[in-house]
């Protein structure tokens, strides 16, 4: 096979981790990233095209004879970038628009789960505010209210009382805080348990799993405060042990891929299941049609196999080997965010310490960074950096990541101090057994 020209779409920590991994492949000739960021620019040529400018991306891919486009974020997938590229004969990794609806519409995801008897929270869908309010009289609390469409991870609200639920419905359905995403809502049962993510690559039939991981969505330690895009992650997450992983495969992932084929929406790409491990077993909280962020920042360093080979095969409709070779290590990522995030924050703070020695097996993935007029790296987003370390065990990965966090800085930087805390009780248990 001649070497490939690759375009990665996106410019966050996930895409930096993707470009970092792709750059290690022997199959690659040149990597472009649209729009990329200062960290990515060391490994790939960054081109100033927005991930939502599908026609701009298409014109670029045609002009550079791109062999494989790898899509990071959900917005272009849900908007149909895969269908557009494939119509032009371009190879692209990511589900079609019909398949990406698994993330793009919570109503579709719940419909599929219910129809194929895949475990999830009980739910009802509403298009009318009054009907949704009337339903609140008939259910126990807490309950969970979700906007149907994409809402950048902020469209699910846990409501402890009827009053909170009415406020949430007003915000979503009347004030349209998430735009058209709020024209329908899902009201679902609150599930008790521990959350974890299972992410696999699939050719539409076979699944190649990455290690299970755990995100930290809330802004403050102890999972307090509003949700963010994710403040840190680690893998493998011991809450999903080998026996639980077999259940997740048999009860959730495989039935979902089969269901999508039966629905005439064959699913090829990354299938990400956000799970609640309940006392009755694993249940689906949500699906995503892409790598998680920050989960990608811990998962990609754990893959030993040539990722490009698998992504290329999937993009060409070929079968993949379900045994994706991995390092038997742990990885942990701490996100450094701008003070004030997920509310308002200031950009343009100079980031220092990026070029110093950070430690063995430590990587800094850029998320919200940019160059200022002097060519210095400055902050340009809520989540600024993902400080990731790998190690022979959980504790060494955690220690290295937190030690590297202390070596980079910017004004008002904020990070959680408890990334990975939940792993400890599982590790203590498995040690004492």
Q: How far is the CB of 227 from ligand AMP (least distance, A)?
A: 6
Q: What are phi and psi of 207, to 5 degrees?
A: -120, 130
Q: Does 288 bind ligand GLY (CB under 6 A)?
A: yes
Among 203, 293, 306, 361, binds ligand GLY (CB under 6 A): 293
Q: Is 230 one of the binding residues for ligand AMP (CB under 6 A)?
A: no
Q: Bridge-partner residues for 364, per DSSP?
A: 387
Q: How far is the CB of 286 from ligand GLY (least distance, A)?
A: 8
Using CB under 6 A as the binding criterion, the count of chain residues that bind ligand AMP stands at 16
> Among all chains, which residue has been given the structure tokens 């290329």?
312
CA atoms of 329 and 112, how far apart (whole Å): 35
Q: Is 397 in the site for ligand AMP (CB under 6 A)?
A: no
Q: How many other C-beta atoms lie within 10 A of the C-beta of residue 179?
A: 11
Angle at alpha carbon of residue 422, lines to 361 and 415, rounded to 5°: 60
Q: Which is nearer to ligand GLY, 58 or 302 (CB)?
A: 302
3-state SS class at 221: helix
The number of beta carbons lying within 10 Å of the beta carbon of residue 153 is: 17
Helical packing angle, 106-115 and 97-104, nearest 10°: 100
User: Is residue 220 within the footprint of ligand AMP (CB under 6 A)?
Assistant: no
Q: Rounded to 10 degrees, what is the CA torsion of 273, 91, 61, 297?
A: 30
Which residue, 11 or 91, is less far from ligand GLY as judged by CB? 11
Please identify, using beta-carbon distances, which residue of 171 and 218 lies nearer to ligand GLY: 218
Q: Which stretch binds ligand AMP (CB under 6 A): 17-25, 33-41, 152-160, 231-239?
A: 152-160
Instruction: List Cα–Cα distances, 19 to 42, 97, 424, in angstroms.
Output: 10, 24, 31
Query: Considering the rule CB under 6 A, would residue 151 count as an interface residue with ligand GLY?
Result: no
Residue 121 binding target from ligand GLY, ligand AMP, none, CB below 5 to 8 Å by type: ligand AMP
Instruction: Enumerate long-range contacts of 370-374, CB under 8 Å, 24 or more apart.
Output: 370/37, 370/38, 371/38, 372/348
Look at residue 422 and give the partner it binds from ligand AMP, ligand GLY, none, a contact being a CB closer than 5 to 8 Å depending on partner kind.
none
Instruction: Single out the residue of 285, 333, 377, 419 in contact with ligand AMP (rule: CB under 6 A).
Output: 285
Contacting positions for ligand GLY (CB under 6 A):
153, 215, 229-230, 288, 292-293, 295
Contacting positions for ligand AMP (CB under 6 A):
121, 144, 146, 153, 155-156, 158, 188-191, 195, 217, 274, 285-286
């Amino acid at each position: 096979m001649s070497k490939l020209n690759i375009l990665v779409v996106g410019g966050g920590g996930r895409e930096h981790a993707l470009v970092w991994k792709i750059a290690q492949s022997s199959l690659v000739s040149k990597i472009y990233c649209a729009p990329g960021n200062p960290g990515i620019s060391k490994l790939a040529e960054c081109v100033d095209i927005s991930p939502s400018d599908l026609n701009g991306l298409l014109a670029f891919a045609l002009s550079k004879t791109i062999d494989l486009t790898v899509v990071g974020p959900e917005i272009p997938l849900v908007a149909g970038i895969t269908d557009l590229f494939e119509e032009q004969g371009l190879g692209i990794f990511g589900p079609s628009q019909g398949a990406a609806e698994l993330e793009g519409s919570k109503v579709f995801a719940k419909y599929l789960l219910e129809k194929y008897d895949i475990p999830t929270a009980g739910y009802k869908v509403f298009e009318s505010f009054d009907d949704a309010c009337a339903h609140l009289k008939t259910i126990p609390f807490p309950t969970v209210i979700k906007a149907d469409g994409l809402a950048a991870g902020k469209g699910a609200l846990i409501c402890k009382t009827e009053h909170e639920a009415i406020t949430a419905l007003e915000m979503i359905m009347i004030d349209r805080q998430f735009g058209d995403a709020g024209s329908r809502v899902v009201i679902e049962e609150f599930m008790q348990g521990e959350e974890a993510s299972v992410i696999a690559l699939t050719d539409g039939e076979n699944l190649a799993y990455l290690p299970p991981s755990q995100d930290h969505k809330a802004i403050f330690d102890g999972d307090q405060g509003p949700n963010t895009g994710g403040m840190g992650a680690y893998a493998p997450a011991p809450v999903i042990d080998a026996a639980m992983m077999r259940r997740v495969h048999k009860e959730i992932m495989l039935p979902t891929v089969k269901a999508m084929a039966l629905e005439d929406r064959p699913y090829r790409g990354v299938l990400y299941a956000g799970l609640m491990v309940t006392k009755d077993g694993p249940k689906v909280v949500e699906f995503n049609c892409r790598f998680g962020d920050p989960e990608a920042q811990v998962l990609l360093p754990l893959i030993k196999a040539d990722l490009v080979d698998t992504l290329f095969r999937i993009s060409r409709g070929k079968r993949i080997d379900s045994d994706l070779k991995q390092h038997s290590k742990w990885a942990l990522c701490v996100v450094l965010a701008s003070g004030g995030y997920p509310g308002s924050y200031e950009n343009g703070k100079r980031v220092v310490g990026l070029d110093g020695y950070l430690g063995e097996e430590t990587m800094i993935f850029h998320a919200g960074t940019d160059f200022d007029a002097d060519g210095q790296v400055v902050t340009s987003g809520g989540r600024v950096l993902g400080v990731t370390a790998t190690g022979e065990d959980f504790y060494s990965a955690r220690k290295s990541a937190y030690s590297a966090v202390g070596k980079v800085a910017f004004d008002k930087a904020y990070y959680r101090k408890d990334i990975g805390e939940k792993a400890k009780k599982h590790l203590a248990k498995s040690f004492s057994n």
